[in-house]
Amino acid sequence: MASQKPLKSLLGSKNLKGQKKKKNEAQRFYDQIADVQPFMQKIMGYRSSLAKYLRALKLELDESAIALDAGCGTGLATFALYSAGYCPKVMFTLDISFNSLRVAREDFHKDKHTKRNKIEPVQGNLLHLPFADESLDFIITCGALEYVPLDEGLGELARVLKPKSKMILIPVLPSPVSAVLEVIYKFKAYSTKQIQETASRYFYKVEKREFPVTEPIGWSKVLFIVEKR
Ligand SMILES: C[S@@+](CC[C@H](N)C(=O)[O-])C[C@H]1O[C@@H](n2cnc3c(N)ncnc32)[C@H](O)[C@@H]1O
């Protein structure tokens, strides 16, 4: 599973410099709310809820893995992975919002599960990931693909993932609640059918898992485990 490549060779030339200077809508929005996001997620119990579920999944994510949290925001999925006991060699946390990355970085340095680990925040676009083809061992992405065209987003994530490696996809579950969130957070939830059909173009074993109804994360999200072709 381990990549023997030096980290520098994993990072390709694509980054925000080559793209439009103007902030996109999601970037502007998440830059504005970055400081309140961790507080809201703690109140809602999302982090501990997701950690509990990820622990139960017994993921193949060992200490030699190069991992990515794509559209990490203020770090929810990364915090959940580390507090569930996973500890990859490197975790890249990528987001388009600089302020979200700043808040995440400050919190990674304080949290007992993350502070001693190698976590590398990267400002970038999900649609132009700054990683070489087939360079990553594991990806998690939670609530971020809703901001990009699904086929392009999944295709780009598949490009950087090694064959047979796994991705945990945690999209928003379409529901009356998500319809309200769509307006507030300015995203578009995809149906389970759309996700399964689109993911099947790049991944096999697109397994859908429901969160237990008692878990707050399950009130708005669903989970898929997919494996790269
Ligand atoms: C609903 S938040 C989810 C954040 C985090 N994964 C979580 O579960 O709390 C969506 C995140 O996607 C990011 N995002 C939106 N479009 C993006 C893009 N094209 N590239 C990278 N990140 C993007 C936003 O900045 C925001 O942080």
pLDDT score at 21? 57
Flag whether 188 is in a domain: yes
Flag whether 123 is in a domain: yes
Q: Count the helices and strands in the chain (H runs, E runs).
A: 9, 7
Flag whether 18 is in a domain: no
- 95-134 as b/e: b if 16+ CB within 10 A: bbbbbbbbbbeebbeebebbeebebbbbbbbbbebbbbee
Flag whether 148 is in a domain: yes
Ligand 1 atom, smallest distance to 26 CA:
15
Flag whether 4 is in a domain: no
pLDDT score at 42? 85
Q: How far is the CA of 26 from the centre of ligand 1 (A)?
A: 8
Nearest CA to 212 out of 22, 25, 11, 53 is that of: 53
Give the integer Cα–Cα distance in Å for 135 and 9: 9
Q: How far is the CA of 207 from the centre of ligand 1 (A)?
A: 23
pLDDT score at 142? 98
Please say whether the beta carbons of 72 and 47 come within 8 A. no
pLDDT score at 16? 52
pLDDT along the chain (229 residues), means of 10: 41 47 86 93 90 94 97 97 97 98 97 94 97 98 97 98 97 91 92 96 91 88 94
46 lines ligand 1 (CB under 6 A): no
Structure token pair of residue 171: 């999209």
218 lines ligand 1 (CB under 6 A): no
71 lines ligand 1 (CB under 6 A): yes
CATH number for position 47: 3.40.50.150
Flag whether 2 is in a domain: no
Task: List the residue whose alpha carbon is closest to atom 4 of ligand 1.
Answer: 73
Domain with 35, as residue range(s), is: 23-228
pLDDT score at 177? 84
Helix axis angle, 98-110 to 37-44, nearest 10°: 60
Flag whether 155 is in a domain: yes
Q: How far is the CA of 163 from the centre of ligand 1 (A)?
A: 25
Rounded to two decimals, the pTM is 0.92
Flag whether 142 is in a domain: yes
Q: Count of domains in the chain?
A: 1
76 lines ligand 1 (CB under 6 A): yes
Hey, which of 19, 30, 128 would you mutate to test ligand 1's pocket, going by the most ligand atoms within 8 Å of its Cβ?
Answer: 30
